[in-house]
Structure 1
Amino acid sequence: MSTAPPATRCGAASPSDAPLRFAVLGAADIAWRRMLPAMTALPGTDVAVVASRRPEQAARFAERFGADTAPDYASALAHPGADAVYLPLPNALHAPWAERALEAGKHVLVEKPLATDATAVARLQQLARRRGLVLRESMMFVHHRQHAEVRRLVAEGVIGAPLSFSAAFTVPARPPGDIRLNAGLGGGALLDTAVYPVRAALMHLGSGLEVLGAALRHENGTDTGGSALLVSPEGVTAQLEWGFGRPYRCHYDIVGPSGELRVERAFTPPADHVPVLRHTMDGRTDGIRLRPHDQFQAVLAAFRAEVAGGRPDAADQATSLAQAQLIDRIRRLAHRV
């Protein structure tokens, strides 16, 4: 992915002489391990201030990434050096704090999911449009180059017209007390892991997907896994699986009449991971090696380009909303097991 010039808020002058600086609300593990290192490494982005409900965590982040600390989230929003906000908060807090950030005149990058239901996603997107601000769901994997290569191969007909799609994202059991098991904070596997295969299906099969059936497993009041069968307007089926307490699986397959393409480490590849696309035809499997790609830097570059251009990516917004609508339908239609 090409990188755009450094940017400040829409309408700001001289974007070339100042990076896009973020207020970070929350000291989540994903921020520590991947997103903030990407912010400080990518030219044109930087960390201005960090706030956490645990002051010692904010101080730890600030020391590592050269940022200020704020005593609370509201103070971080008011930081004069912040042009944008990054939200790695628990799922149920995404919508309220994204709304406050937009009302404060900040561009917003939100960890997935953008909100816990499609109605809230639509409301936030409408607010961002009214305020002339960029709002993006940080679904990193869609920016990795390996998926563009898959789309190219499919378009060239290497497997023929797709007949079916399957995807799985499952992870080992979460430890007791893990925030992803807290239903009151928007926890559960549907919002934590199902969004990946759902988004992959949208990426390769397009809009108009319908949910034919689904099942959700619940334990102690929280959904911990499930599966769903979707179909595209062209009749391509998509079998999706997700959940906690299962072996680590992170892949998708596209099958056509003359072959199959399989992507391993589809959703969470490390920055130094060398992707190998598996192409199977006539009983023979060949590996297509690709270059490593940092998908965290890629999503930041896309976000920064939107801010610099003053034009939010309408296609990305539409897909984020379609993803939330499909998650809502799966939740509504699922058989509970």
Structure 2
Amino acid sequence: MHAPVPPRPEPLVRIDRVSKTFGAHRAVDGVSLDLEAGSFLCLLGPSGCGKSTLLRLLAGFESPEAGRILIDGADVTGLPPHRRPVNMMFQSYALFPHMSVGRNVAYGLQGLGLGRTAIAERVADLLRLVRLEGLSERRPDRLSGGQRQRVALARALAREPRVLLLDEPLGALDRGLREETQGELRALQRRLATTFVVVTHDPAEAMTLADRIAVMDRGRLVQAGSAADLYERPESRFVAGLLGDVNLIEGRLGGGRPDGRATLETGFGALVAGAPEAALGPGEPVVAAIRPERVALLAGPGEGLQGTVTDAVFLGDRIRRQVRMRDGTLIRAASPVSADPGAGPGTEVRLAIPPEAVRVLAP
């Protein structure tokens, strides 16, 4: 007999068919999403897709017209922010300029009934946590951007929320500091095992930070999963183009194969692909999503799709080439420098693309 499968634990947060409208604009449209305790979720999408509105609905700063929000099994949909086990760190950091670092962090502890000694100890612990020891008496205007970000983070963590909400927390930092702070934020979340929900429009940031990404578009949740899931197995043209460089090749679905794979008829030849993501039949228009690093360049005569290299760009760890196919279609291929075929512009090449690298999507 097989051992019984243990039931999945209840999610810490359940967003159940939540909608929010501003005038004629549907900012959030029937979104359902579960968050496990201790997870790190990124809400990702372009400006105006509804991700910040969804964060504010979680925080209690907005009320939905439909749907429910549950935290630890309790319905918090109608509760104000201060009665929810969540806290929010705003993009602007919202530090009090007239208060010292220590007093800014202590402000988050007001209303908990703690004595002065307990508050001082908690502030010291938080400043150690975010590596700001010795800066308790400084004012925010004497701190760097990264230090101000950490003060805001310490203040948001002061009340030990079950869920910490962060709205574009790294948006004000320059590139170098942003990359450094991404690692610090991820390490901090792992150490605390607090559930983090971060809003970002930067796919690279979402892939660096999160163990799960929820992609939104025009108020709807279009796909959720790990960075690898979304990158390797996008379910739509939108998701494929959002996360990293991708070749999107239009064609028509051919007949099925005995091995269950599909064929894609294009102007430059036939591609063998995995099974289509949608229920599509032979002859229907489709789009193949192929990552450049999955396209291999072969020199010399032999089988393969024929093309001519038109451009080659050195990118440090890889060389990206553009290949013009016989019908004019341009395909990008990225080769590691250590295994580069050395094909310059004007070189005739063959492309080899494994079937598992070809995702067939609805157009």
State the TM-score, normalized to the length of structure 2. Answer: 0.24
Of structures 1 and 2, the one with the larger relative CO (CA 8 A, separation 6+) is 1
**Between structures 1 and 2, the one with greater helix share:** 1
**Between structures 1 and 2, the one with greater strand share:** 2
* Largest Rg, 1 or 2: 2
State the TM-score, normalized to the length of structure 1. Answer: 0.25
